[in-house]
Structure 1
Amino acid sequence: MAAAFGARLAEAMDAHGPLCVGIDPHPGLLAAWGLPDDASGLAAFARTVMEAVGGRVAAVKPQSALFERHGSAGVAVLEEVVAAGRATGTLVIVDAKRGDIGSTMAAYADAYLRDGSPLAGDALTVSPFLGFGSLEPAVEAARATGRGLFVLALTSNPEGASVQHARDASGVSVAAAIAGQARLLNERETAASGAELGSVGLVVGATIGSAAHDAGVDLAAVRGPLLAPGVGAQGAGAAELAAVFGPARRAVLASSSRGVLAAGPDREALRRAAERACAEAAAALR
């Protein structure tokens, strides 16, 4: 079994900085790159990004839906991204936000977390809003194969607050309960391994302001990686990151998509954009 994801991510961030490049092939971006909105354009886009940043950033995060919209040929391109990450030593976080119950969740875990599956990157984003316990098949599969999970907790979309900030009869918010479950899993892992980070991370929007504090979420106590979409083009800089993450900043993996991808399709321009984004994230998270 590979080393646990949390340890591998910490090592990658030490080596390359705290940046995850999102691979988000929106139709408008394909057009801006002069590519057709079909599987061939998708493949050219994904290969160009991986050739530009593979082996140079801590992680990449392909958005599964934007591959799936091209059918089986698009899913095959997603498999190529996973393989390219493995070939270049770049961690791949498959952003599929899967969440279901029982045998269905077990099937998702088999697809995205099983050794030998062409869709199995190094980590998977998952949704806990059918109850954190519904994620158990994914938790077990990730633990067995040394992979990681990023659990949705505090997202930046306005609709998210109606669920994530809701409180139970004892006054504990949904987000705090999710963070607490992740903390328990990470405590067991880090106690056994001595690693700095566990392998069950949270997705926390970089532009949520005081939401973590308001919802009673202690991000530093999670002891897992914090995937932070919204850095750069979406508006989160040093002040915003300090406000959101406070003493948990060391665990933040800043995700930038548009801020890097807008520099394409030139590979060198993409590489320089990723380097700038990484330097800015590192400075903001000091």
Structure 2
Amino acid sequence: MPDAGSQPAAARAPFGQRLAAAMAARGPLCAGIDPHPSLLAEWGLDDDVAGLARFAHTALEALSPVAAALKPQVALFERHGSRGLAVLEELLAGARELGVLTIADAKRGDIGSTMAAYADAWLGEGSPLAADSVTLSPYLGYESLRPAIDLAKETGRGVFVLGLTSNPEGASVQHVGGDASVARRIIEATRADNAPDGVVPAGGDRGLGPVGLVIGATVGPALEELGIDLAATRAPVLAPGYGAQGATPADMRRTFGGAWGQVLATSSRGILAAGPDASRLRSAAERARDELA
């Protein structure tokens, strides 16, 4: 796969197109790179910057040939301070060199110039933290994310907006409103941003747009109960919860129904527990990929 991430924005294919190509070539697996202190210990590594760097490098080398995308959990690099963020920068640069897409799991969300600064950091040309996409929190209002959404479109990058999460606390906000739930309004807002040339397709067009959604793999019947039509949004769907968190491919096919082709299933601990041996890590990722396919 070409190293599209290092190309100038004008030459870079749109994010949805690049993600669809990666999923077609490698399957719908997103491998999380989550250097939890407990995992560092299981790998025989110290909970310091040297251990973090070894963990990140091993995961990158083992998983990049298998996964459609890699998703580093930003908080677990941030906890090591500026040197931890330097390791993240090296990981993102390494992924670009290897031609694998990245999703910075940062869950940023703010207003005005602050949101614009977050957008520049994670999506801007020349930023050392620039990834192919970044996760965003819309709970200051979907339009508060506009600087990041617009910059993603300009640079051929993408965003994943929290839509419907499976943590128990999420329902107290996301499900409020019944047929006009918070989750439904956020999810439906992505449709216009993913419409080619601003024209919302009447049906049948399943090409992926630049504005993705984070939908928990374990939300069960919530999509149906809230009247949410994911397929109509053309949004790539990042679905955490596959593997160690309990969701099986059969569960996910039932949950996502006609939007299954948009789903990028995330597994972190279920794969990383096979480390630190790189060949075992790669084998675990291959099993997950084949199970999803």
TM interval, shorter chain, is over 0.9
Give me the whole-angstrom Cα distance separating, in 1, the residues matched to 2:113 and 2:88: 24
Q: RMSD over aligned Cα, in angstroms?
A: 1.4
Deviation at 1:191, TM superposition (A): 5.5
Indicate yes or no: 2:54 matched with 1:20: no
TM-score by length of 2: 0.92
Matches within 5 A, 1:118-137: 118-137=128-147
Give me the whole-angstrom Cα distance separating, in 2, the residues matched to 1:109 and 1:195: 27
One-letter amino acid of the counterpart of residue 99, structure 1: G
Give me the whole-angstrom Cα distance separating, in 1, the residues matched to 2:278 and 2:253: 32
**Contact map agreement 2:206 2:234 (CA 8 A) in 1:** no
User: Which residue is 1:218 aligned to?
Assistant: 229
**Contact map agreement 1:55 1:89 (CA 8 A) in 2:** no
Indicate yes or no: 2:76 matched with 1:74: no
User: Which residue is 1:116 aligned to?
Assistant: 126
Give me the whole-angstrom Cα distance separating, in 2, the residues matched to 1:75 and 1:265: 22
Give me the whole-angstrom Cα distance separating, in 2, the residues matched to 1:97 and 1:130: 12
**Contact map agreement 1:124 1:150 (CA 8 A) in 2:** yes
Which of 161, 170, 174 is the aligned partner of 1:151? Answer: 161
Give me the whole-angstrom Cα distance separating, in 2, the residues matched to 1:52 and 1:189: 39
Q: Structure 2: 5+ residue runs without aligned partners?
A: 1-9
Deviation at 1:89, TM superposition (A): 0.4
Secondary structure of the 2:194 match is: helix
Matches within 5 A, 1:175-186: 175-186=183-194
One-letter amino acid of the counterpart of residue 37, structure 1: D
**Contact map agreement 1:190 1:196 (CA 8 A) in 2:** no
Give me the whole-angstrom Cα distance separating, in 2, the residues matched to 1:48 and 1:67: 15
Matches within 5 A, 1:1-286: 1=10, 2-167=12-177, 171-188=179-196, 196-282=207-293
TM-score by length of 1: 0.95
Give me the whole-angstrom Cα distance separating, in 2, the residues matched to 1:129 and 1:137: 15
Secondary structure of the 2:180 match is: coil
Secondary structure of the 1:228 match is: strand
Deviation at 1:244, TM superposition (A): 1.4
Q: Structure 1: 5+ residue runs without aligned partners?
A: none
Q: Which string of whole-angstrom CA distances, capped at 9 and with x for unpartnered residues, describes residues 36-55 of structure 1?
A: 00111000000000011123
| 1:189–1:281 CA distance, 2 compared to 1 (3 A) | farther
Give me the whole-angstrom Cα distance separating, in 1, the residues matched to 2:78 and 2:171: 28
Please list every run of at least 4 consecutive aligned residues from structure 1 whose deviation after the TM superposition is greater than 3 angstroms: 188-192
Give me the whole-angstrom Cα distance separating, in 2, the residues matched to 1:260 and 1:191: 40
Stretch of structure 1 that moved more, 256-265 or 234-243: 234-243
Give me the whole-angstrom Cα distance separating, in 2, the residues matched to 1:35 and 1:179: 40
Give the number of aligned pairs: 279
Give me the whole-angstrom Cα distance separating, in 1, the residues matched to 2:114 and 2:197: 26
Deviation at 1:189, TM superposition (A): 5.1
**Contact map agreement 2:192 2:199 (CA 8 A) in 1:** no
| 1:190–1:91 CA distance, 2 compared to 1 (3 A) | farther
Q: Which string of whole-angstrom CA distances, capped at 9 and with x for unpartnered residues, describes residues 156-184 of structure 1?
A: 1000011111118xx41111111111111
Give me the whole-angstrom Cα distance separating, in 2, the residues matched to 1:238 and 1:146: 30
Give me the whole-angstrom Cα distance separating, in 1, the residues matched to 2:220 and 2:66: 30
Give me the whole-angstrom Cα distance separating, in 1, the residues matched to 2:49 and 2:199: 45
